[in-house]
Structure 1
């Protein structure tokens, strides 16, 4: 049937007539006991409703994005989870183009070790869940099952029981033997994370040279939770440390495998080059690539800009309380990286956000967030200085992928925590820095900043407007920008 009416505004007669014809058609072909899987934005084919409710939902909420009328017998309707698996199809098609022997060779023009490991883990996408199964591969079944666990907030014990029941009910199905095996497969696809113990007072990470320490060097707090039953005998205490529970844990999601995974699909690899090959260069601002900051970055680092597959990243973070009003003291800080190479309709989509750090604890991180950023900053520095060999499936070649952190996205209080520049007090302005002009209001007990007119042009009428401002003319020019070299020189002049 004609579906052009779906793109019309819902108040138009064309949409309403087309909807009536659609309702008659879909209930005749797909109706079960007088109900259909409603394809509106809220139900997304997951809720069964009657004729009246279906028409009301589609008038109020329209069809979910990507919905198309298909043959109800040969082509079942897609749900959002099934649409998400379409990304898997591109990876699998690239895998089918690789001969099994290729994955065993060492030719530098072919997939490197990390790409081979990824593709080998993806081979279960070619394996049927059970003989004759057409709807699920082993990989799609695992992804759907694990997705349900996360969305339904099912704990490991309950999920393991469900797993055991499924294996007993379907002995011919290639279901992993345990939850551990399932997670191992997910880790092989680059979706795992690392746990890094931290000082409960946010002093240090037990990482790299500190990984074997059992006590914080700064505050001398134990790395592990203690109880009244713990022995004071130092030898017994050391022997039992492997059974201890860490007092605080940082979850770190390795960045390099996630960036490499962007190049595993030829379609996604092409999208990484959109900023150079697909953007419209007409002087209009549509995307960060059109901004002066992007052009300045290219001018300052021509070696980086020469390789269009190098990734420019934006970092976003903020704190929130996952328990709502139940625990006002709790604060969780996710740190997310966003690949800005992608087109505007891709780079700000949630599936492409890369969660790199998950910092949680009973209180806000404050100025100590830099302690938790150490693993991420370490890998970003490595990707900037050296890069990582990465397989590009769109060109069937390996290249040295580099990445640069170009932007941070945050509100003003979080800006202070990420940059280290205090946004409170006498010199709160990061643009004016030490040349900030502030006035302390004694009765209000706060600072105000009245020198904003100096950022205007030299002949602007507001500069001589005494009455509308603080009774003075503004003759001073805007302060010079603080460069990275200036910051380093000031830091080097400090005596610690």
Structure 2
């Protein structure tokens, strides 16, 4: 079918005629119950719509970038779908790697006595297929047993319903609908879902983060390093298991600390086994626009360098590129409880941008328990994940079924980089982000100065990254009173990192006190260097721009409005300026009554300017779903901002701050702030010109 009309303007007659022919074709081949998965930009093949709605969507917003019409292959259907949105039989086939695709429903359960019994995989498949076909209750055409269970469990997860409340709801549903096939308990419901795969493993860990009871250590009952018991203390149960008298039942002891490991390999295989996502896993190579602009990680120099170093890996477009993110959070919704649980999440970058950054394609790989953060000991918990990544890098890969080509292939995967905030950067990379050498880019060449009164390090070597003839290099007055003549320091390669840490052995654990003194600011050799390709990666660690933007936003707004606890312009800062001998107009002055007077800075808002600034933000209205109600974070009497979340700061910096500053502060103050906001807006745009990533442009 000719698809050249898709690139034409949507108001032309050729586009409308081509759209009508496309809808005729797609509804005659792939339409189910009068609906198709809409390929428009907004729906992204995720929502089922009828013909009229599909035509409206494609006429108004157009097709997904790079959309292609796949050739239709007719196949025999076992039974019609109960619901256009719930293809449970397709889900079962995808879950079992296409197992039983050629088995007709009449063949199930009709084995002769001479035939051998089905294996466990076959039994699970037949049971899941039966649940996918079975009506929830006699005469129900809307739900099958499997679709109802999945919908119910999905609601529990999204609504954050606890287990007890959900079990009570199941009891109520069974009483109200006695003829419906509803599970008796949450355990039975989970058991049915578990048969579809994607379960997780529990691995006991030393409570002091010394080691995992995994592989060769799986049978041990105490830690090799700190000799702490593996299990929670119970004086009456000295053994691993306790046998109940007069029965054969055994009560297993509870691990003192348990790591949840969600295996990565079956989750990556599921992306190819599912007919909904298999073709999209080749998007980065087959459908990506290649014009030099940055739209996707595949456009980055790091990706291209990796492909150059490993052409055998790059030759197979289905090989998976991954990114890893980790940070701590408090799962108890209250800051009065000190608890830090660390999830480790992986993202597959093969998918197009409108898919790879969405929640369904974030893979939770590890759930590291609290109550305290693992710190440098996070490498102990990373062992199962790194072992999987090593297996996925092996030249033989992992045999995987590709539903889009109806064939098996050897899937391989690589980890390109990590993403984190600055404190977590230290845990993942091994370079401490505290102290006088805290900059991981400058390494041992970090230029730092300890402030006497502020009791903090300040870093004034950032002008080295500007071009050699840049005017700011010679600007002594605006900085620390010196000219900058040094060149930009060269970043360390992976091989140089290994050379610096060669010969040092680090023991992990909270109670370990005897570790060798590592050079510079190193705290450990990162476990990611166990991956054969990690030392050649161009960019091994990234900083999360949302964390940075929130910190910058809080500091800028707090300083402009002189908010208590958030401003960077206070007495200690002024005393440090006086000691350094710079900016004499800001030095504190002692008055006759021995009170200290701080002269107002050019960037400080007066009472009227604060009122104007807050009133603008108080009246802001944004489209539903674009941002939170920022006006709730604005107080007029006294004027201040409070309670901004990360996304609120994101919208404030990119859109609202330049507007709110138009009628306040002098031009030489507000213009640099507006340029900074524009830089962040360009940095976070969907399409980015590499030439726009010149930070020096916002300084002038």
Q: CA deviation at 1:323?
A: 1.6
Match of 1:487 among 494, 497, 500: 497
**1:286-317 Cα deviation digits (max 9, x unpaired):** 11122222211211221111110111111111
- Paired with 1:342 and 1:114, the residues of 2 have a C-alpha distance of 33
- Paired with 2:424 and 2:216, the residues of 1 have a C-alpha distance of 29
**1:82-110 Cα deviation digits (max 9, x unpaired):** 99955757646876992028999xxxxxx
Contact 2:48–2:85 (CA under 8 A) maintained in structure 1: no
Which 10-residue stretch deviates more, 157-166 or 246-255? 157-166
Q: Structure 1 residues 90, 356: closer, same or farther in 2, change over 3 A? A: same
Equivalent position of 2:195 in the other structure: 188
Contact 1:426–1:438 (CA under 8 A) maintained in structure 2: yes
**1:246-305 Cα deviation digits (max 9, x unpaired):** 111111111111111101122300010110111111222111122222211211221111
Q: Structure 1 residues 86, 306: closer, same or farther in 2, change over 3 A? A: farther
SS at the partner of 1:237? coil
- Paired with 1:462 and 1:149, the residues of 2 have a C-alpha distance of 57
Alignment of 1:277 with 2:276, yes or no, is: no
Unaligned 5+ runs, structure 1: 1-64, 72-81, 105-112
Equivalent position of 2:217 in the other structure: 210
Q: Structure 1 residues 441, 401: closer, same or farther in 2, change over 3 A? A: same
Which 10-residue stretch deviates more, 429-438 or 394-403? 429-438
Q: Structure 1 residues 303, 96: closer, same or farther in 2, change over 3 A? A: closer
- Paired with 2:213 and 2:462, the residues of 1 have a C-alpha distance of 45
Q: CA deviation at 1:360?
A: 2.1
- Paired with 1:154 and 1:325, the residues of 2 have a C-alpha distance of 18
Equivalent position of 1:453 in the other structure: 463
Contact 2:93–2:101 (CA under 8 A) maintained in structure 1: no
Q: Structure 1 residues 157, 466: closer, same or farther in 2, change over 3 A? A: closer
Q: CA deviation at 1:414?
A: 1.3
- Paired with 1:411 and 1:287, the residues of 2 have a C-alpha distance of 21
Q: Structure 1 residues 428, 220: closer, same or farther in 2, change over 3 A? A: same
Contact 1:273–1:341 (CA under 8 A) maintained in structure 2: yes
Q: Structure 1 residues 217, 301: closer, same or farther in 2, change over 3 A? A: same
- Paired with 1:304 and 1:190, the residues of 2 have a C-alpha distance of 28
Q: CA deviation at 1:348?
A: 0.8
Contact 1:230–1:237 (CA under 8 A) maintained in structure 2: no
Equivalent position of 1:32 in the other structure: none
Q: Structure 1 residues 115, 389: closer, same or farther in 2, change over 3 A? A: farther
Equivalent position of 1:410 in the other structure: 420
- Paired with 2:400 and 2:490, the residues of 1 have a C-alpha distance of 41
Which 10-residue stretch deviates more, 399-408 or 451-460? 451-460
Alignment of 1:150 with 2:150, yes or no, is: no
Alignment of 1:225 with 2:232, yes or no, is: yes
SS at the partner of 2:101? coil
- Paired with 1:135 and 1:358, the residues of 2 have a C-alpha distance of 36
Q: Structure 1 residues 484, 150: closer, same or farther in 2, change over 3 A? A: same
SS at the partner of 1:186? helix
Q: CA deviation at 1:329?
A: 1.1
Contact 2:272–2:401 (CA under 8 A) maintained in structure 1: yes
- Paired with 2:307 and 2:344, the residues of 1 have a C-alpha distance of 26
Contact 1:253–1:357 (CA under 8 A) maintained in structure 2: yes
Equivalent position of 1:441 in the other structure: 451
Q: Structure 1 residues 327, 426: closer, same or farther in 2, change over 3 A? A: same
Match of 2:329 among 317, 320, 329: 320
Q: CA deviation at 1:149?
A: 3.6
Match of 2:102 among 99, 104, 127: 99
SS at the partner of 1:268? coil
Alignment of 1:385 with 2:388, yes or no, is: no
User: Based on CA coordinates, which of the two structures has the bigger radius of gyration?
Assistant: 2
Q: CA deviation at 1:377?
A: 1.3
- Paired with 1:328 and 1:168, the residues of 2 have a C-alpha distance of 39
Alignment of 1:346 with 2:355, yes or no, is: yes
Q: CA deviation at 1:164?
A: 6.0
Q: CA deviation at 1:184?
A: 3.0
Equivalent position of 2:682 in the other structure: none
Q: Structure 1 residues 395, 445: closer, same or farther in 2, change over 3 A? A: same
Contact 1:383–1:402 (CA under 8 A) maintained in structure 2: yes
Which 10-residue stretch deviates more, 123-132 or 154-163? 154-163
- Paired with 1:121 and 1:431, the residues of 2 have a C-alpha distance of 56
Contact 1:125–1:139 (CA under 8 A) maintained in structure 2: yes
Q: CA deviation at 1:167?
A: 5.8
Q: CA deviation at 1:320?
A: 1.1
Contact 2:86–2:147 (CA under 8 A) maintained in structure 1: no
**1:42-89 Cα deviation digits (max 9, x unpaired):** xxxxxxxxxxxxxxxxxxxxxxx9697999xxxxxxxxxx99955757
Contact 1:92–1:126 (CA under 8 A) maintained in structure 2: no
Equivalent position of 1:27 in the other structure: none
Contact 1:319–1:332 (CA under 8 A) maintained in structure 2: yes
Q: CA deviation at 1:200?
A: 1.3
Bigger RCO of structures 1 and 2 (CA < 8 A, at least 6 apart): 1
Alignment of 1:198 with 2:205, yes or no, is: yes
Q: Given the two structures, how large is their TM-score scaled by the length of structure 1?
A: 0.73
Match of 1:309 among 314, 318, 330: 318
Which 10-residue stretch deviates more, 325-334 or 404-413? 325-334
SS at the partner of 1:256? helix
Contact 2:323–2:349 (CA under 8 A) maintained in structure 1: yes
Contact 1:118–1:190 (CA under 8 A) maintained in structure 2: no
Unaligned 5+ runs, structure 2: 1-45, 53-81, 109-118, 243-249, 506-515, 517-700
Contact 2:48–2:84 (CA under 8 A) maintained in structure 1: no
- Paired with 2:83 and 2:429, the residues of 1 have a C-alpha distance of 39
Equivalent position of 2:297 in the other structure: 288
Match of 2:487 among 459, 477, 488: 477
SS at the partner of 1:373? helix
Number of equivalences: 409
Q: Structure 1 residues 444, 256: closer, same or farther in 2, change over 3 A? A: same
Contact 1:383–1:404 (CA under 8 A) maintained in structure 2: yes
Q: CA deviation at 1:119?
A: 6.1
Q: Structure 1 residues 151, 476: closer, same or farther in 2, change over 3 A? A: closer
Contact 2:89–2:133 (CA under 8 A) maintained in structure 1: no
SS at the partner of 2:318? coil
Q: CA deviation at 1:423?
A: 0.8
